[in-house]
Structure 1
Amino acid sequence: MTLTPDASGVFPIAPTPFNPDGTLDWASTEKLFAFYDEIGSDGTTVLGIMGEAPKLEPDESLRIVKTAVAGMPGKPVIVGVSAPGFAAMRSLARQSMELGAAAVMIAPPPSLRTDDQITGYYAQAVEAIGTDIPFVIQDYPLTLSVIMTPAVIRKIVTDNPSCVMLKHEDWPGLEKISTLRRFQADGSLRPISILTGNGGLFLDFEMERGADGAMTGYAFPELLIDVVTLQKAGKRDEAHDIFDTHLPLMRYEQQQGVGLAVRKYTLMKRGILKSDAQRKPGSAISAAAKAEVDYLLSRVAKIDPRADI
């Protein structure tokens, strides 16, 4: 299976489950992907920024890819392969595809500043991993500090036929989605899948602007599936209603520095992860923060019983 430009739906970004001693929790890893599959996710993405990928050993990374592919049979697995050098990127990309991954995701290094540097980097990355591997552009300026204009994204897509998807995480970014879809409408950009991130905070309107779905890591991916499904069915008010129910918890989870800790805590309370541990160096949330999350969950549960945990 390989990823194609018509990919759509919800691809949860998988956190990496750890035991309190920092070792990989493989039982929870298997349970996580089984959960994604059971709720109707259209695929998944592993070894992303929120997956603590830089903290993993190469063999651990490959085992996570293998576990994801096995846990979501028939569904595409995208692997984050961003690395300081192209040798490591190529190795992980090609080994992941051999294990059954559908595509890889490449983020630009923070040192890139000019448009030519950005487009040149992606050309070199594609040359390194091979033009036979489908890839996803990760556009995440808030964390990576690399600004990609719609014109730059169009050039990367046009110059590299193996580019099949944009992971859109600009903020504010609604106008960027609209501009890219206008490029597509006027024929200056070939069709490409656009999945959005940022914890789902803007998914309600991103779908209306032309996004194909979400690729992010909110602790209730079922909510993301609901919003995408309802918007595709033209049920705008219903999509916004369920989205608004979860928005306070989504906002809390999106805090810089502690967002992953909040997400893992919630997934642990849901019984999907055995521990909310991160591999060092990692953050943790205080007892006060946990109480706040519990309060938010109780409020969401008044309308959405899935949060009654």
Structure 2
Amino acid sequence: MPRHPFLHSSYTIAPTPFAPDGSIDRASIATMVEFLIGLGVQGITMLGVMGEVDKLGDAERDLIIDDVVTANRGRVKICIGTSHVGTDRSVAYSKRAVELGADALMVAPPKLAKPNDAALRAHYHAIAAAVTVPIVVQDHPVSSGVLMSVDFLANLAREAPGCNYLKLEEEPTPAKTTRMRAAAPDMVIFGGMGANMLLEELKHGADGTMTGFGFPEILVKICAQYVAGDVDGATQTFYHACPLIRYENQPGINMAIRKYIYAQRGAISHAHVRAPSAPLAADVIADLHDIITRLGFGQHMKTKGA
């Protein structure tokens, strides 16, 4: 039985589909939602770092949320990223996401000139006071520039309504997961980081993963096997997929790789990434197809090579 039946297991952080001209590809939002639900994910997270959220305008945010919620039709939980460096803007984004049908929110801490736990605490309390849905606190210092201690996160989970969910991405993640689980036994902990350490995170007390990957069904299977007590099976599934997890998780091109895989699998129509990001080079695509073919996943792709 999951620690909290509302949010658990495998949540996919989905990309934002764009047409070749850079506009929102609304048709692909619908096909992507069907694709992910068909693969068994427990939830879909939109407007995260890997969803190119910093390249979106406010009207585009609303459009994406509305289209995802409409396509979902209540079948899985929808989590929406509502992070902003300004507390007022994050509160506004959060309220708007809930108005449009979000089941949960993902919020990273705002960047501060100096570390200040009191300011961070006030930021999260303001958001929690404005909404009634769960808030997944994103602990990813590489992107936020903010370090949050185990004690801070444990206290926040106890004090701020709904903030007892954590997307733990401060490396080394297994070690912090152990400390976090000891400090906050009832907290729901998701791993992330492209599933690089998913197996170890589960072993150290994580409840699942909230991350992106071109083959989400693999992460669903790993989590299901582990929860069912089939640790050996989960281990074998994870180790088999590790070469692809490693290759996809390259900083700077991971989003482009994931979009390419999604397009090849028919989830979205185009692999376009907004500038200044660039499309994948031919040699990257060739290496990717080689890995996918060697792992036996080639039947899921439209083409067999670059």
Same fold (TM over 0.5): yes
Return structure 1 stretches of 4+ with deviation > 4 angstroms.
Answer: 304-309
For 2:261 and 2:28, the matched residues in 1 are separated by 14
Q: Deviations over 1:128-163 (max 9, x none)?
A: 563433311100122223222211211221221221
Q: Which residue of 2 aligns with 1:241?
A: 236
Contiguous gaps of at least 5 residues in structure 1: 186-190
For 2:127 and 2:238, the matched residues in 1 are separated by 41
For 1:120 and 1:274, the matched residues in 2 are separated by 43
Match for 2:271 among 265, 270, 276? 276
1:126 corresponds to which letter in structure 2? H
User: Helix, strand or coil: the match of 2:182?
Assistant: helix
Match for 1:213 among 208, 211, 216? 208
Q: Is the 8 A contact 2:45 2:80 kept in 1?
A: yes
For 2:299 and 2:20, the matched residues in 1 are separated by 30
- Cα deviation, residue 167, structure 1: 0.6
CA distance change for structure 1 residues 140 and 248 in 2, over 3 Å: closer, same or farther? Answer: same
Determine if the alignment matches structure 1 residue 46 to structure 2 residue 13: no
Q: Deviations over 1:22-52 (max 9, x none)?
A: 0111111111111111111111111000001
CA distance change for structure 1 residues 71 and 122 in 2, over 3 Å: closer, same or farther? Answer: farther
CA RMSD of aligned residues (A): 2.0
For 1:87 and 1:289, the matched residues in 2 are separated by 41
- Cα deviation, residue 112, structure 1: 5.6
Q: Which residue of 2 aligns with 1:96?
A: 97
For 2:148 and 2:79, the matched residues in 1 are separated by 21
Query: Does 58-67 or 43-52 show the bigger shift?
Result: 58-67
Q: Is the 8 A contact 1:137 1:165 kept in 2?
A: yes
User: Helix, strand or coil: the match of 2:184?
Assistant: helix
- Cα deviation, residue 71, structure 1: 2.5
- The number of aligned residues is 298
Q: Which residue of 2 aligns with 1:201?
A: 196
What TM-score does the superposition give when structure 2 sets the normalisation length?
A: 0.91
- Cα deviation, residue 282, structure 1: 1.5
Q: Is the 8 A contact 1:6 1:192 kept in 2?
A: no
CA distance change for structure 1 residues 122 and 31 in 2, over 3 Å: closer, same or farther? Answer: farther
CA distance change for structure 1 residues 136 and 128 in 2, over 3 Å: closer, same or farther? Answer: closer
Q: Deviations over 1:85-107 (max 9, x none)?
A: 22322222111111111121111
2:66 corresponds to which letter in structure 1? K
For 2:151 and 2:14, the matched residues in 1 are separated by 30
Query: Does 161-170 or 125-134 show the bigger shift?
Result: 125-134
For 2:28 and 2:85, the matched residues in 1 are separated by 29
For 1:231 and 1:288, the matched residues in 2 are separated by 36
Q: Is the 8 A contact 2:111 2:146 kept in 1?
A: yes
2:138 corresponds to which letter in structure 1? Q
Query: Does 121-130 or 9-18 show the bigger shift?
Result: 121-130
Percentage of identical aligned residues: 32
Map 1:76-95 → 2, pairs under 5 A: 76-95=77-96
For 2:244 and 2:255, the matched residues in 1 are separated by 13
Map 1:277-296 → 2, pairs under 5 A: 277-296=272-291
What TM-score does the superposition give when structure 1 sets the normalisation length?
A: 0.90
1:273 corresponds to which letter in structure 2? I
For 1:94 and 1:137, the matched residues in 2 are separated by 16
CA distance change for structure 1 residues 118 and 78 in 2, over 3 Å: closer, same or farther? Answer: farther
